[in-house]
Amino acid sequence: MPDYTSRLSLAKPRGGSSGSTPAEQVAIDMLNGNFDKLDASIGAPSYTSTTRPVSPFPGQVIYEIDTQAAAAYIGSSWTYLMPGTGIPYGFIARRNAPATPSSGDIVALENTLTYDDATLVLRGGMQTSTDRKIWTVPLAGRYRVTKQTQWSSNGNGTRSLWVIKNVAASVTPNATDIANNCVQQIDVVGSSQVSGYTYVSKTLILQANDTLQFWERQTSGGALAIVPGTNTQNVQSTFIQIEYLGA
């Protein structure tokens, strides 16, 4: 029986110059099988994100047809080397309807977020709960997370925004949740001169299936309107942006 190479499992007939065993006869089918494997390994062989090699070797690079991205096996998991059209790169959602949260309530304002094209088609495995409170990332790696909210003009109280990771779904966070799981917080004083904003942008190292939530509070003393985002490229808007930056 032949030995096999560690990466491509190419058959190596025993014997030969080592003289340790009698030389093994080489079958044509064995040679042809080796040639087919070598041919398939030239460049980055094509797979999908759900049909990757069963027994990959460290450093193996593939091209995923469904995500249109190159991925490498780093010894225990796969990581993307470059963004493709099917992974959450440049993912952005905007609020397309006004809201008027009451003073002092901690609320999630994303229940009417949509994409620029007004459809909710999640890319590359990005997931969101039905109420848009929980955003789940599909890939391990670095993400730039940006959240901006535009409030109506009001000089009273403050506006607060928390980005919270891995808190139970559909549960309003309490003080302990915020203290232990908040990855970014911003507090601003209300303004009667111009519309007030809460804005955060932070690069996070996330694992696959980590969740993010965006919770906000205003303390103006009454209900205060949120300005919807009519154009996500316009800085005067309310939106979430999650960018996959790579491993």
Give the chain's domains with CATH numbers: 3-80 (no CATH), 91-246 (2.60.120.40)
Torsion, Cα 170 171 177 181, to 10 degrees, reads 0
Give the pair of three-digit tokens for residue 243: 């960018």
Element (H, E) at 30: helix 28-41
Element (H, E) at 63: strand 61-64
Name the band, by pLDDT with cuts 50, 70 and 90, for residue 231.
Answer: low
DSSP code at position 142: E
Which pLDDT value is given to residue 165? 92
On the question of pLDDT at 82 being above 70, the answer is no
Which pLDDT value is given to residue 111? 47
Rounded CA separation 169/208 (Å): 16
Name the band, by pLDDT with cuts 50, 70 and 90, for residue 118.
Answer: very low
Task: Kindly state the average pLDDT of the residues 6-23.
Answer: 71
Amino acid at 4: Y
Which pLDDT value is given to residue 125? 58
On the question of pLDDT at 127 being above 60, the answer is yes
Name the band, by pLDDT with cuts 50, 70 and 90, for residue 203.
Answer: very high
User: Are 113 and 207 a contacting pair, CB within 8 Å?
Assistant: no
On the question of pLDDT at 235 being above 60, the answer is no
Which pLDDT value is given to residue 135? 82
Which pLDDT value is given to residue 21? 63
Name the band, by pLDDT with cuts 50, 70 and 90, for residue 185.
Answer: confident
SS3 28: helix
Give the pair of three-digit tokens for residue 223: 């209900």
On the question of pLDDT at 186 being above 50, the answer is yes
- The candidate with the shortest Cα–Cα distance to 64, out of 76, 78, 75, 74, is 78
For the ranges 33-47, 138-152, 203-217, 227-241, the maximum mean pLDDT occurs at: 203-217
Element (H, E) at 181: helix 175-181
H helix and E strand count, the chain: 2, 17
On the question of pLDDT at 233 being above 70, the answer is no
SS3 174: coil
User: Are 78 and 205 a contacting pair, CB within 8 Å?
Assistant: no
Which pLDDT value is given to residue 232? 46
On the question of pLDDT at 7 being above 80, the answer is no
Rounded CA separation 226/151 (Å): 5
DSSP code at position 52: -
Start-to-end C-alpha separation, the chain: 41
Name the band, by pLDDT with cuts 50, 70 and 90, for residue 116.
Answer: very low
Which pLDDT value is given to residue 184? 86
Give the pair of three-digit tokens for residue 108: 């999630």
Rounded CA separation 47/204 (Å): 28
Name the band, by pLDDT with cuts 50, 70 and 90, for residue 117.
Answer: very low
